[in-house]
Structure 1
Amino acid sequence: MRTCNRVLGSALLVASLTLSGVIASQPACADDYPELSEDVGPVKAFRFGARAYLSGDFRYALKALEHAAKAGHAIAIWKLGKMYADGDGVDEDDQRAFDYFRQIANAHADDNPHSQMASVYSNAFVQLGNYYKAGIPGSQVEQNYGEAARMYMHAATYFGDADAQYELARMYLDGSGVPRDPAQSIRWLYSAAKKEHVAAQALLGDLLISGADVHARPVEGLKWLLIAKNKAGPADRDWVLSLHFKAMQATSADQQSAAETAANAWISSAAQ
């Protein structure tokens, strides 16, 4: 008898499934799922696939999501891209992931940036930017910083995507794919930091404290590092703590007190 193994996946998927009513209750653990005949529409096929995915039945999930994707179901297409990108329930295949994300980008580049689906569309652009930045060995997707910057720019400006804004900030800081412009980098970091993007908050704080590329503002910089430290998860915690430790060595007691007051005010305001 198959054991039910609930696999939550990404927060973006869970949010999307909640919006579509897929996980209003616990996912089913049935051994058998409905046959995916031609009369099963994309919405129903996606729901079947999502429930199977959340209960760990990747074989059926893949079949159902592909059924929905062929009819243009955007979340199904995006989830297939993520599965192949991460090797999640399937063999990792970056080219197939890239093709799924490109399908979303081509079809939904100009869709409503304030819709419930906007985060799915913008994330597809971010994923494409990541692939262009690194390239895909053995494929026709070569490393192309300019194209990566173009993907990030669209997601950052049209959809207001914080991940894209952070990646674009790093490119302006390094001069990769765009002219080097630390001031522009700071502007994008501020935009992402205000959306609670931990990496953007930490990098912004470090740059403002060091003053290497921009006018030093140690109190403002330490404020953002304290905010990042408060929110950092396991993936970010070590490097954020390292920057925080360095910042504490570079600032005075008065500056630290002022930064802590400002950070606490921001954290309290964000929680409301």
Structure 2
Amino acid sequence: MRAFGFAAAMALGCLFAAPVADALDASARTPVPERSYRSAREALRTGVREYNAGDKEGAARALEYAAGQGHALALWKLGRMYADGDGVPHDDLKAFEYFSKIADANTDDGPDAPDSGVVSSAFTALGGYFLDGIKGTYVRPNPERAYDMFNYAASYFGDPNAQYNLARLYLDGTGVEADAKQAARWFNLAAEKGHRPAQALLGDLLVNGMGGISAQRVRGLAWLALARQGAEGRKDDWIVTLYEKNWAAASADDRAEAESQMQTVGSIRRRR
């Protein structure tokens, strides 16, 4: 696994070198914290405590101190805050640069490293930015780079969000040649980890069969039913719609067997 990590680090170093070197450093556009801390760890603890207490401005100042010391979790949290406009002005470029710092500093970390979850999440976020670009900035849409980011996080770290996004690229033929079988493979890996959108799209693929995939209606319905069971709020309305469409078209026998198989596919997820 270390050999893969080193090769990936070399390749990804080339990916980030050109644009990030020409960009303003994220920390250069961030106000200097008003207070100092004994360590990045202390600043991180303070930032988390103030964030949870609702003082997001104070949290950002503390996290900026820790991020300036290269603390991966602080960099990631700030990236998420700027990406979401959570207590700070929404700024996708700043978020991109914070995530880039994590990627640049940790490309050779293994999946068992303490910060592996943060690192894989950063690569996945970067994949999203490369996929769509950031309007008015040097970050242009680049589906091939998006593929590299998603593939690295999906393959090396087993990140379910990256696996889902990689599957979408294969399904749509974006940045890579369309391949429904590869899409189903990556959807399946994410679905087994409880990723609802992956469960829904895998189920739809299996129910209908496409791109050389043989229809497996019962198993597909079981995945759709499992996704529907976990659907939450308006953001998952499309999952409910997809489930209802396929469920309505299924025979009573297929529905009954699918409900039985839900326990089987659900147990795969619980064991992982």
- TM-score, normalised via structure 2 length: 0.84
* Alpha-carbon offset, residue 119 of structure 1: 1.2
* Alpha-carbon offset, residue 210 of structure 1: 1.4
What is aligned with 1:258? 257
Amino acid at match of 1:161: D
Q: Does 1 or 2 have the higher relative contact order (CA < 8 Å, sep 6+)?
A: 2
Quick one: distance in 1 between partners of 2:57 and 2:223? 44
Amino acid at match of 2:217: P
Please list the CA deviations of residues 151-195 of structure 1 after superposition, one character each: whole Å capped at 9, or x if unmatched: 000000010000000000010011100111111111101111011
Among 164, 175, 178, which residue is 2:176 paired with?
178
Q: 2:192, 2:265 within 8 Å by CA — same for their partners in 1?
A: no
Is residue 52 of structure 2 the alignment partner of residue 48 of structure 1?
no
Structure with the higher fraction of residues in helix conformation: 2
> Does the C-alpha gap of structure 1 residues 271 and 77 become closer, same or farther in structure 2, counting only changes over 3 Å?
same
Please list the CA deviations of residues 226-247 of structure 1 after superposition, one character each: whole Å capped at 9, or x if unmatched: 1111122225431111111111
What is aligned with 2:111? 113
What is aligned with 1:36? 35
What is aligned with 1:100? 98
* Alpha-carbon offset, residue 116 of structure 1: 4.0
Amino acid at match of 2:238: W
What is aligned with 2:57? 59
Amino acid at match of 2:233: P
Amino acid at match of 1:76: A
Quick one: distance in 2 between partners of 1:68 and 1:117? 15
Q: 1:36, 1:45 within 8 Å by CA — same for their partners in 2?
A: no
* Alpha-carbon offset, residue 117 of structure 1: 2.1
What is aligned with 1:242? 241
> Does the C-alpha gap of structure 1 residues 252 and 161 become closer, same or farther in structure 2, counting only changes over 3 Å?
same
Quick one: distance in 2 between partners of 1:181 and 1:268? 28
Quick one: distance in 2 between partners of 1:80 and 1:125? 15
> Does the C-alpha gap of structure 1 residues 184 and 266 become closer, same or farther in structure 2, counting only changes over 3 Å?
closer
* Alpha-carbon offset, residue 270 of structure 1: 4.5
Quick one: distance in 1 between partners of 2:194 and 2:154? 15
Quick one: distance in 2 between partners of 1:186 and 1:269? 16
Quick one: distance in 2 between partners of 1:271 and 1:167? 22
* Alpha-carbon offset, residue 267 of structure 1: 3.0
| SS of the residue 2:219 aligns to | helix
Report 1:150-229 matches (<5 A).
150-213=148-211, 214-229=213-228
> Does the C-alpha gap of structure 1 residues 270 and 181 become closer, same or farther in structure 2, counting only changes over 3 Å?
closer
Quick one: distance in 2 between partners of 1:49 and 1:240? 36
What is aligned with 1:28? none
Q: 2:147, 2:169 within 8 Å by CA — same for their partners in 1?
A: yes
Report 1:79-158 matches (<5 A).
79-158=77-156
Is residue 226 of structure 2 the alignment partner of residue 232 of structure 1?
no
Quick one: distance in 1 between partners of 2:114 and 2:208? 39
Quick one: distance in 2 between partners of 1:110 and 1:250? 48
* RMSD, aligned CA: 1.7
Identify unmatched segments of 5+ residues in structure 2: 1-33
| SS of the residue 1:206 aligns to | helix
Quick one: distance in 2 between partners of 1:104 and 1:44? 19
Quick one: distance in 1 between partners of 2:74 and 2:129? 20
Q: 1:199, 1:236 within 8 Å by CA — same for their partners in 2?
A: no
Identify unmatched segments of 5+ residues in structure 1: 1-34
What is aligned with 2:16? none
Q: 2:193, 2:269 within 8 Å by CA — same for their partners in 1?
A: no
| SS of the residue 2:265 aligns to | helix
- TM-score, normalised via structure 1 length: 0.84
Quick one: distance in 1 between partners of 2:236 and 2:172? 23
Equivalenced residues, count: 238
Identity %: 47
